[in-house]
Amino acid sequence: MFGNTLFVTSSGDGMVGKYDAKTGAAISVRFITGLNHPEDLAVLGKALFVANFTSNTVGKYDTQTGAAINANFITGLSAPQQLALLGNTLFVANSGAGTVGKYDATTGAAINTNFIMGLKFPFGMAVKSAK
């Protein structure tokens, strides 16, 4: 069913739910639990990235099982609220620092933590590829 799946954060409940994107039917309301105010999601292949606002991390989870690949995939953030992907590059909006950081989506390594600076609570992001 991959490709017809909608993942939804429930920030106050600290969880991510998994739903059928065509019907809205719940596949697993408590797909991933125990998170710290999950704010945003991004999917790359079989990896689901979760921005955890309170713990200042981005976690990486399996899209099929919800198992943590690395719950602390990216650390040292400042109130991450939004994620965007371009190829294997993961952009993270750090609302607390007023920055957008750039990370390797495969390893979590920082490419440029201050890729964009001087913002006031960056929240929305979208990437348009050249294709």
Report the pLDDT value the prediction gives residue 129, as an integer from 0 to 100: 83
CB 108 within 8 A of CB 88: no
Instruction: Read off the CATH number of the domain in which 50 is found.
Output: 2.130.10.10
Model pLDDT for residues 54-109, shown as the tens digit of each residue? 999 999 999 999 999 999 999 999 999 999 999 999 999 999 999 999 999 999 99
Whole-prediction pTM:
0.95
Domain membership of residue 110 (yes or no) is yes
**Residue 126 counted as domain residue:** no
Q: How far apart are CA 110 and CA 49, in angstroms?
A: 15
Report if residue 129 sits inside a domain. no
Average pLDDT over residues 23-50: 97
CA pair distance 30, 34, nearest whole angstrom: 10
Residue 39 lies inside a defined structural domain of this protein: yes
Domain that holds residue 28: 5-116
Residue 130 falls within a domain, yes or no?
Answer: no
